Structure 1
Amino acid sequence: MSTPIISIPSIPLRLTANRVWRSYRGGKLLDEMSDVAEPKDAHYPEDWIGSAVEAINPIEHRTPREGVAMVSAADGMTSISQLFEEHAEYFFGAEHIAQFGAQPEFLVKYIDSAERLHFQCHPTKDFSREHLKSSYGKFEAYYVLDVRPDMGPGVVYVGFQRPPERDVLKDMIERQDIDALSECFDPIPVQRGDVIIVPGGVPHALGAGVLLIEILEPSDWVARFEFSRGGYVLPEKDRFMGRDLDFALGMFDLRAKGAAFVESNYLCQPQVVKQIEHGRRERLIGLAQTDCFQVWKTTWSGRAQRTVSSYCIAIVVGGACRLAGPDGWTAELRRFDRVVIPYGMEWIRMESIGECELLECYPPSAKPELETFTV
């Protein structure tokens, strides 16, 4: 049944938890965000925020439409993908639809790792178009929220600092010589507020104890070249996207990525685009880094207002606030709460409790720099 547009209030659309099974362990901090009585680490370490993308999991752990977010409408719960299809122009605007169709063109996740993730690699867009019959690769970016103090320093592994020859790498993977694979990487320390990009083709892994927001192309393509994590061994069919190791190795960027290269190319520095009294807007990821999505951050105190020129997913990453559209206010939003801001809202009012930080994720075609921002 179609959801009447009048049943979708013109306010930022609050999103609830949307946990997804993965083959590694984590999620205790996500349990705490949702006020679970006994938070624990398990195989639900990810929360897919406002997602219209289905997760690709081993068949024994697959549930129908897993990964697709459900939202509350006047007549009950409905999938966000259904809302997008039925009310595309309201959510995205005609220009976005003509270019991308009725979907956001990006995916956002919470990731809470209790252990290092598998060593893995994702395809580029070009590889996906040629070999996977898909428009999307999996360029991804991390915004670090916190590091668990009981798990040592937070780290990521991005690119081979000491890349092996392809035949040597294949042998390491076939023998699952994890020590040898680990020696190809140097761990890169990360802390709260860091922004890291991982282009398709770059071997990588997230270290243990890191809580972050991941922004990525809207796909679940991955080749895991480490097969066992969290007491679970990936079935052979689920390691290389249903293909074999030689196919997967065709994705790998085997050029050396030294520390200086990683720092200058993969660690992103914020750019202040608008600074006003009691507020500022910063570009964290833009066209200089990728044509797949944009990430901005708004920081303000007191009351503010900005225009809306694009679909956006917004996440409170510091402080607390209320947001309002033409039909009124949302309930109070605390740290880690998330909302969808549709294109058709045209403007939002923002009222902080103390200082507030809002991470804003946009499609690649958005022009946040043209949005007005006043306090």
Structure 2
Amino acid sequence: MTAHTPATGAPIELPANQPQQFYRGGASIAALRGAPERDYGPEDWVASTTTRFGQAEAGLSRLPDGRLLRDAVQADPRGWLGEEHVAAFGDSTALLVKLLDAGQRLPVHCHPSDRFAQQHLGSRFGKTEAWIVIGTSGANPVVYCGFRQDADPAAVQRWVATQDSSALLGSLNEIPVRAGDTVHVPAGTPHAIGPGVFLVELQQPTDFSVTLEWSGFLADAEQAFLGLDRETALRTLNHRGFGDDLLTSLIKRTGDDPAARVPLLSEQADEFFHAERLRAESRNGGIELDPSFSVLVVLDGTGTLRTEHGAVPLRPGGTLVVPHGAGAATVEGDLTAVRCRPPRIG
């Protein structure tokens, strides 16, 4: 048996990866990256091994050498992901990270659970997600999450059938947000994102969406239900009302926390992914990072990510994929970054 050959382990800065979307946005992504603005570039899929629904390659990230990240990980899963991760998830990264800049309100939609995805979509993963607000614009930046009170399934069916946008949106909790706020969005939760909200979004590694409010957003209803009949697709929806206690458990307000490292997400997110904000200051030395497959998004400032494989410069808007094989690392300099990681093992 040949010995295992690990990945090089060096962190890699990735170029933008903005598959075509149906909604407007992208100015904040362009500003963060210092790049020309693109029409209909509201999502940047970072270190993605996930394709857009029904497509062969759209959505996949490429490494600077031209290889698909998906292929590189599959060729050396232990080097990229680590032994414990591979034992739990095989060669899947179990994570999709996006930059999302909503130039218009997104439609009301929801995502399937793992169980639904296994039964109806042939996937191990559904699509639980979480939002980390990194910027806002406009007079009233808001997101929408969960029904305000228990919803009658027959009424929801009627709203969807007649495309009653006012009823759909009006039934949801409207949540004002600012930079530093985070929202965990369990599978099945009806939700939408308002215009002017700029996020780092963590998701399970699928592109499954059931679009309840498709009129004015998608070309036709056939694109709204993942190739399923409407009645089956709507079984993904959680009709339970999200009261104050539940919302409090899903939302964190971290913008005023000055700590060098701040856990960003609700504890309910741990089985799906986790994230922390890093605030490095050169006068305080570096921030040490344990070995892990991770995605690093630099929000501001400059510095260095130092590993046993060398040093990688960090700049505003930089997005990096860090293999588990990079080993322990240190973030140095004066900067703010978000570190995103797959589910905790054990």
Q: TM-score, normalised by structure 1?
A: 0.84
1:373: which partner in 2? none
1:370: which partner in 2? none
Structure 1 CA distance for aligned equivalents of residues 259 and 175 of structure 2: 31
Structure 2 CA distance for aligned equivalents of residues 279 and 254 of structure 1: 38
Secondary structure class of the residue paired with 1:344: helix
Question: What one-letter code is carried by the residue in structure 2 that aligns with 1:357?
Answer: T
Structure 2 CA distance for aligned equivalents of residues 279 and 300 of structure 1: 10
1:174: which partner in 2? 161
Secondary structure class of the residue paired with 1:268: strand
Which residue of 217, 238, 241 maps to 1:256?
241
Secondary structure class of the residue paired with 2:236: coil
2:174: which partner in 1? 187
* 1:299 to partner: Cα distance: 2.0
* Kept in 2: contact 1:140–1:199 (CA 8 A): yes
Structure 1 CA distance for aligned equivalents of residues 345 and 266 of structure 2: 10
**Compared with structure 1, are the counterparts of its residues 219 and 80 closer, same or farther at alpha carbon in structure 2 (3 Å cutoff)?**
same
1:268 aligns with 2:252: yes
1:218: which partner in 2? 205
1:281 aligns with 2:261: yes
Structure 1 CA distance for aligned equivalents of residues 26 and 215 of structure 2: 18
* 1:365 to partner: Cα distance: 2.7
**Compared with structure 1, are the counterparts of its residues 177 and 307 closer, same or farther at alpha carbon in structure 2 (3 Å cutoff)?**
closer
1:239 aligns with 2:224: yes
Q: TM-score, normalised by structure 2?
A: 0.90
* Kept in 1: contact 2:151–2:241 (CA 8 A): no
* 1:305 to partner: Cα distance: 4.9
> Which deviations, in whole Å up to 9, do the C-alpha atoms of 1:289-322 show, x marking residues without a partner?
3411111222221131525322111111232221
1:102: which partner in 2? 91
1:350 aligns with 2:331: yes
Which residue of 188, 192, 196 maps to 1:209?
196
2:305: which partner in 1? 323
Q: RMSD of the TM alignment (CA)?
A: 2.5
* 1:262 to partner: Cα distance: 4.6
Question: What one-letter code is carried by the residue in structure 2 that aligns with 1:83?
Answer: A
Structure 1 CA distance for aligned equivalents of residues 231 and 268 of structure 2: 32
Structure 2 CA distance for aligned equivalents of residues 195 and 241 of structure 1: 28
Residue identity over aligned pairs, in percent, reads 27
Which residue of 110, 113, 116 maps to 1:124?
113
Greater mean deviation of Cα atoms: 134-143 or 337-346:
337-346
* 1:94 to partner: Cα distance: 1.7
Secondary structure class of the residue paired with 2:143: strand
State how 1:352-367 maps to structure 2 within 5 Å. Answer: 352-353=333-334, 356-365=335-344
Structure 2 CA distance for aligned equivalents of residues 20 and 145 of structure 1: 21
* 1:206 to partner: Cα distance: 0.5
Structure 1 CA distance for aligned equivalents of residues 325 and 298 of structure 2: 21
1:23 aligns with 2:22: yes
- Which consecutive residues of structure 2, in runs of 5 or more, have no partner in the other structure? none
**Compared with structure 1, are the counterparts of its residues 184 and 322 closer, same or farther at alpha carbon in structure 2 (3 Å cutoff)?**
same
Secondary structure class of the residue paired with 1:298: strand
Secondary structure class of the residue paired with 2:173: coil
> Which deviations, in whole Å up to 9, do the C-alpha atoms of 1:188-217 show, x marking residues without a partner?
100001010110011000111111000011
Secondary structure class of the residue paired with 1:187: strand
Structure 1 CA distance for aligned equivalents of residues 74 and 276 of structure 2: 26
Secondary structure class of the residue paired with 1:52: coil
Question: What one-letter code is carried by the residue in structure 2 that aligns with 1:363?
Answer: P
* 1:245 to partner: Cα distance: 1.7
2:50: which partner in 1? 53
1:337: which partner in 2? 318
* 1:9 to partner: Cα distance: 5.0
Structure 2 CA distance for aligned equivalents of residues 256 and 212 of structure 1: 25
Secondary structure class of the residue paired with 2:262: strand
